[in-house]
């Protein structure tokens, strides 16, 4: 991450982290506690939380200090504890909840050095990508270009007071 981001010339007005995975170490999301596996959990945290956290770490010096700039990371509504009425998907949910905490803490720190920065976690909706290929039949989906447009519109409308927040593709706050 240091090599990749360190090779870029900033500053950037928007840094957007769109990585993530539903499978961990080749295992699908868990339906029951019996399926919990340490290697799969570690893989989930690596891609859904730690990777994004490392981007944030190395992105700070790429953000302007004197004007509005946004750091956004794709989280997921299922990472919400308050919204979790179904259970299951333990590792993915937990990794996204951990990502939300990193984004929230990062926003507090960034606001000291980059007072006009906005750092958010975003839920994109259910999007028809490879990610949802095994699950999309049971949910209505939007296309990736549609999802991207929704998210860019939310990002455009963000205000300084939104920093540290967890918002969905409509710009509505998602409970922690």
Structural Rg of the chain based on CA atoms: 16
Q: Where are the alpha helices (DSSP H) in the chain?
A: 2-6, 38-45, 51-59, 90-113, 144-157
| DSSP state string for 103-114 | HHHHHHHHHHH-
User: Shortest CA distance to 89 belongs to which of 167, 176, 97?
Assistant: 97
Say whether 27 sits in a helix, a strand or coil: strand
Determine the size of the site formed for ligand NAP (CB under 6 A): 15
Of residues 14, 21, 50, 62, which one binds ligand NAP by CB under 6 A?
21
* Residue 68 or 104 having the CB closest to ligand NAP: 104
Of residues 94, 132, 146, 148, which one binds ligand NAP by CB under 6 A?
132
Binding status of residue 127 toward ligand NAP by CB under 6 A:
yes
Residues 50-109 contacting ligand NAP, CB under 6 A: 74, 76
Of residues 35, 84, 105, 129, which one binds ligand NAP by CB under 6 A?
129
Residue whose token pair is 């700039």: 69
* Residue 12 or 131 having the CB closest to ligand NAP: 131
Interface residues with ligand NAP (CB under 6 A) are 18-21, 47, 74, 76, 123-124, 126-127, 129-132
């Amino acid at each position: 991450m240091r090599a990749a981001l360190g090779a870029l010339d900033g500053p950037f007005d928007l840094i957007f982290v769109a990585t993530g995975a539903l499978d961990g170490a080749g295992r699908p999301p868990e339906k029951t506690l019996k399926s919990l596996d340490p290697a799969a959990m570690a893989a989930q945290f690596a891609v859904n939380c730690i990777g994004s956290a490392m981007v944030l770490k190395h992105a700070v010096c790429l953000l302007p200090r004197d004007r509005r700039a946004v750091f956004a990371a794709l989280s997921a509504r299922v990472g919400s504890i308050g919204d979790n009425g179904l259970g299951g998907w333990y590792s993915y949910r937990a990794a996204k909840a951990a990502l939300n905490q990193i984004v929230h803490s990062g926003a507090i720190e960034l606001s000291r050095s980059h007072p006009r920065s906005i750092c958010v976690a975003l839920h994109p909706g259910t999007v028809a990508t490879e990610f949802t290929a095994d699950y999309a039949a049971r949910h209505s989906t939007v296309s990736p270009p549609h999802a991207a447009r929704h998210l860019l519109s939310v990002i455009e409308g963000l205000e300084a007071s939104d920093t540290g927040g967890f918002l969905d593709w409509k710009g509505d706050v998602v409970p922690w």
